[in-house]
Structure 1
């Protein structure tokens, strides 16, 4: 009789040890009783009765997933290859285990299709210049669709946008043409401002008595100072007209 009691006690001890499970802080245990969902347990020490209950551990830590490069055609018909990094985690272990067979694979495939769909609505220039906005749009769409699976998509980051060699050359030519255009515009604006200043200066000189004569004499003075060679310069009639008038008055007196 005594050995039988020891055997029973031993079996009970083994049964108890098999029933004790440790769930870490970053884990949760989805427990089923005879195939039906019972509850989510953990963290800490839990009891799972063998045969009657089954348990599945799920990791609640953030998962970093690299989305494989996707071939995308932009709205302006430019073919590019884009890859991204996805950050997500389980927030509802029950849904993550029951509502979808493979939450990781489902989230990964959904991220690929969403990436292509969202980027296909943007021009190439928008892909390159508005990346934070596109990241936020993709994250919002993914988070709304994975909510029914108990998954929270926290961050989506587009990492690389690869262009073909032809597109790289085309963009380089476009940048050169844009720089030339800006240079010509700046030169034209400078010419306009210079001509406007000259017109204003001419208007002021024309309105002042003797202004043009003074400017003419100043120009002659500058030429004489800067050059040692002989310069033949036409003499404006307005400059010598007062002298001619004086000479005519003297001649009339003599007569």
Structure 2
């Protein structure tokens, strides 16, 4: 034991504290597990237990703690070129929301469970979109997403994951097919406009027919309509006969 009596007491205390600190950090593993994390303790390569949230300390030799985020994550499966059942090539993309529920199963089942889930999502999307014709794919994207979710659930469970939501993100058509669909929609709108115009003309003709029938049954209606038209015009002179007397014409514009 070296003689340290020549050193000041405070320096000796500082050296001892530093030595104890070094021994502690070298021999004791301290890990904090947050609420949104999953944690596993391995001892000499063997799984010992899953750690709950909180601060944990273990003798360091042979100890290893693996942490993983258990919060929901969204993976975008980029556009996949798919041939529909009516032999039309389209690109479809998918939004997949999932989370880690069993870290031990995920580590045992796959080297990269996120990549495996992505691949499973690609295959499920291709199968679901390819089993429909283009009209069905465009009309009900929710049905495609539901089929993908049902197909993906067993694989995700085997990987220690849970699929929370699946949504068909985009259906991209080739330019010629997009123009054809636009022309079809435009023609449909024009046909609807022509039909509405025909209905309006039919209503007008029906009203005219009713008016003609009323005039035929009551000829005096035309005289009354003429007087109404004259009354609305400021430059028409009206003369009325009252029992042999005559009222001079009156210019309403001058009044």
TM-score with structure 2 setting the length: 0.65
**Cα distance 1:108–1:23, how it changes in 2: closer, same or farther (>3 A)?**
farther
Q: Cα deviations across residues 46-90 of structure 1 (Å, max 9, x unaligned)? A: 426634x55433232333322122012334433211223322221
Aligned to 2:51: 41
- Report how many residues are paired: 213
Q: Distance in 1 between matches of 2:30 and 2:226?
A: 107
Question: More helix per residue: 1 or 2?
Answer: 1
Change in 2 beyond 3 A, CA 1:218/1:78? farther
Match of 1:70 among 77, 80, 91: 80
Equivalent residue number for residue 110 of structure 2: 100
Q: Is the 8 A contact 1:143 1:152 kept in 2?
A: yes
SS at structure 1 position matched to 2:162 = strand
Q: Residue 253 of structure 1 aligns with which residue?
A: none
Q: CA–CA distance in 1 between the matches of 2:107 and 2:122?
A: 22
Deviation of 1:165 (Å): 0.9
| Counterparts of 2:226 and 2:75, CA distance in 1 | 80
Aligned match for 1:161, one of 140, 163, 171? 171
Contact 1:74/1:122 (<8 A) preserved? yes
The whole-number CA distance in structure 2 between the counterparts of 1:87 and 1:49 is 37
Checking the alignment, whether the CA contact within 8 Å between 1:71 and 1:80 is kept in structure 2 is yes
Structure 1 gaps of 5+ residues are: 4-9, 227-255
Q: Is the 8 A contact 2:26 2:60 kept in 1?
A: no
Partner Cα separation in structure 1 for residue 144 and residue 27 of structure 2 = 50
Q: Tell whether the 8 Å contact from 1:48 to 1:55 is kept in structure 2 after alignment.
A: no
Q: 1:22 aligns with which of 16, 31, 35?
A: 31
8 Å contact 1:30–1:58 — kept in the other structure?
Answer: no
Distance in 2 (alpha carbons) for counterparts of 1:133 and 1:46? 50
SS of the counterpart of 1:67? strand
TM-score by length of 1: 0.65
**Contact 2:215–2:222 at 8 Å: present in 1 too?**
no
Give unpaired runs (5+ residues) of structure 2: 3-18, 234-255
Query: CA–CA distance in 1 between the matches of 2:126 and 2:28?
Result: 48
2:59 & 2:167 partners in 1: Cα distance?
41
CA RMSD of aligned residues (A): 3.7
Contact 2:79/2:91, CA 8 A, preserved across alignment: yes
CA deviation after TM superposition for structure 1 residue 223, in Å: 11
Rounded to whole Å, the distance in 2 between the matches of 1:162 and 1:60 is 33
Structure-2 separation of matches of 1:41 and 1:190:
75
